[in-house]
Amino acid sequence: MNYETQMDRLFPPDLLRRMEALTLLARQINRGQQRAERRSSQRGSSVEFADYRQFSEGDDWRHIDWNAYARWRQLALKLYVEEEDLFVHLLLDTSRSMAWGDPVKYDYARQLAAGLGLIALSNLDRAAVVPLAGPDPIGWRPARGKHRFVQMLRYLAELPVAEEPLPMTDAINRWLTFQPRRGLVIWLTDFWGSDLKDAFRALDRVRYSKHEVAAIQIVDEGEVTPEDPGEFELEEMENGSLKKVILDAAAFKQYQEKLNEYQESVRQYCVRWSIPLLQLTTSVDPAEALTRALRKGGFAR
C-alpha cells in the first residue's frame, strides 16, 4: 500500500472533520482552567505580577519598578508568574499484539493519537508521538502549532508495528532515558505485555517520573468474545510462537473469567493512582471515543 493510500485509509476526510470539531469541545471544557493549571514556580516575564525582590548586580535594569523606588528608596525588581507550555506525550503501543483485529487495533490507536494530537496542537500545547517499541526510541519530537498537524499525520501513517518484541517496562525505561519534559502522558495500548504485571510496572515507571498519566486501553471484540468452540492454532502475537488449543465451553468460561479479572485489575490500579482510564473496543467510533475522553478529563487540557 502506497503512502497516499495509507493516509486516506487511516485518516479519511470525514474523520478529520469530526476531529476538528472536537477542538472546539476541548476549548469549551477547559475554558477558564487551562492556563491556571500550568503556572510555573519560576519567575518570568508574563503579564501577571507575582512579587518584588531587591535589585542586585547583573539584573536587567529594565525590570526596575521606579514607583517602588519612589516609595521605598530602594531599587526593586518586579517578578511575574511564568506560564509554561503543556507537553503532551502520546505513547503509542507499537507491539505486535496491536496488529490484530477488525479494524486493526494499531490503526484505531493511530486515529485516536491523531485526534489527541490535533487537540493539543490547536491549544498551542507541545505534542509528541512516541512509539514504544521498534528501532525509533524518540519518535515525532514535541511540536507546537496546528500547522504541524499534517506532519504528525504523515508520521503516524508511516509508523510500522515493531518487528521484535519488547516488554512494556523496557520500552518505557528506554523513553525515559531521553529525559522528556515533564507533562501529560497519554498511553494508547491494549495492555498486553510480556506478562500480566508488565503494564503495571510500566505505569509505575511513568508515575515515578512525575508525569501526569492517562491511559486508553484498546481491545478488539474478538478478544472479548472468542470464536465458537473447536480446535484452533493460536499465535502469540508478541513473540510469534504457535500453540494448538481446544476451546470448549469450560475453556471459554475460564478465558472470560481471566479476562474480566485482568480488566478489573487495570481499572482498580488506575482508580488507586487517580489515572484517567478509557477502556474501548474498536467498534466505538474514534471521534466518539475522543469525545468520551475529553468529558472524562485528563486526556486533553
Tell whether 46 and 92 lie within a shared domain: no
Residue 188 falls inside a structural domain = yes
Residue 1 falls inside a structural domain = no
32 or 162: whose pLDDT is higher? 162
Q: Which residues contact 234 (CB under 8 A, 6 or more apart)?
A: 242, 243, 244, 245
- Exposed / middle / buried, residue 290 (Cβ in 10 Å: 0-12, 13-18, 19+): buried
Tell whether 143 and 231 lie within a shared domain: yes
Tell whether 89 and 189 lie within a shared domain: yes
Q: Which residues contact 126 (CB under 8 A, 6 or more apart)?
A: 85, 86, 87, 88, 120, 142, 143, 144, 181, 183
- Single pTM value for the model: 0.79
Of 83, 112, 147, the last residue of a domain is: 83
Report the CATH number that the domain containing residue 182 is assigned in CATH: 3.40.50.410
Q: Give SS3 for 116.
A: helix
Taken in order 182, 121, 147, 135, the sign of the CA dihedral is: positive
CA–CA separation, 282 and 291 (whole Å)? 15
pLDDT in tens, 184-236: 999 999 999 989 999 999 999 999 998 999 999 999 988 887 666 666 655 55
CA–CA separation, 135 and 95 (whole Å)? 12
pLDDT in tens, 231-272: 665 555 555 566 666 677 787 788 889 999 999 999 999 999
Residue 253 falls inside a structural domain = yes
pLDDT in tens, 143-155: 999 999 999 999 9
CA–CA separation, 166 and 30 (whole Å)? 37
Q: In the predicted model, is pLDDT for residue 126 greater than 70?
A: yes
Tell whether 139 and 252 lie within a shared domain: yes
Residue 17 falls inside a structural domain = no
Residue 259 falls inside a structural domain = yes
Tell whether 166 and 43 lie within a shared domain: no
pLDDT in tens, 16-28: 999 998 887 777 6
Expressed as residue numbers, the domain containing 226 is 85-296
Domain count, the chain: 2
H-helix or E-strand containing 233? strand 230-235
Tell whether 89 and 79 lie within a shared domain: no
